[in-house]
Amino acid sequence: MQMETPAVRACLSVVLNAKNGISTPDVCAQSNVGLKYVAECLCYLKKQGAIGHLGSGKGARWASPERTEILRAEMVKDRKAREYAANRARLKRIGRANERAAAEKAQPLRPTGPRSVFELGAA
């Protein structure tokens, strides 16, 4: 693949103009190039060091090399905040369950009434 092709230049300009990074399908939509060719162009540009890559899978983003580290730090910060919130919610659920369990009195294993047919007949 050559760096001088219009598709590569279009992908590069779209990625460099994106403030918070951009996903591969969005690059495809904005540059009017097929998804497979856009993916090849982006990988080529990454190997050349012209753009950076954040994350993997559906949430992967492409950004300029300068913005990549800043966005990566923001992603880590957001992930830690989500993990902290999820952990707090889990601890609250556990606490509420423990409170409910403590509030309910344990039922005796045997009823307090007669224990046998002889005691029932004697009563």
- Looking at domain 6-103, which of 3.40.50.300, 1.10.10.10, 3.20.20.80, 1.10.520.10 is its CATH number? 1.10.10.10
Which residue is associated with the tokens 């423990």?
A: 98
Beta bridge partners of 54: 61
pLDDT (0 to 100) of residue 92: 96
Q: Which among 5-9, 32-36, 92-96 has the top mean pLDDT?
A: 92-96
Predicted confidence (pLDDT) per residue in 59-92, tens digit = 788 999 888 889 989 989 999 999 999 999 999 9
| pLDDT, tens only, 40-59 | 899 899 998 899 988 887 77
What's the CA gap between 63 and 110, in Å, rounded? Answer: 70
| pTM, two decimal places | 0.61
Domain residue ranges of the chain, discontinuous segments joined by +: 6-103
Q: Cα separations (Å) of 103 from 74, 86, 96, 99, 106?
A: 43, 26, 10, 6, 9
| Burial of 117 per CB tally in 10 Å (0-12, 13-18, 19+) | exposed
Q: What are phi and psi of 54, to 5 degrees?
A: -120, 130
H helix runs in 1-123, sequence order: 6-17, 24-31, 35-48, 65-103, 117-122
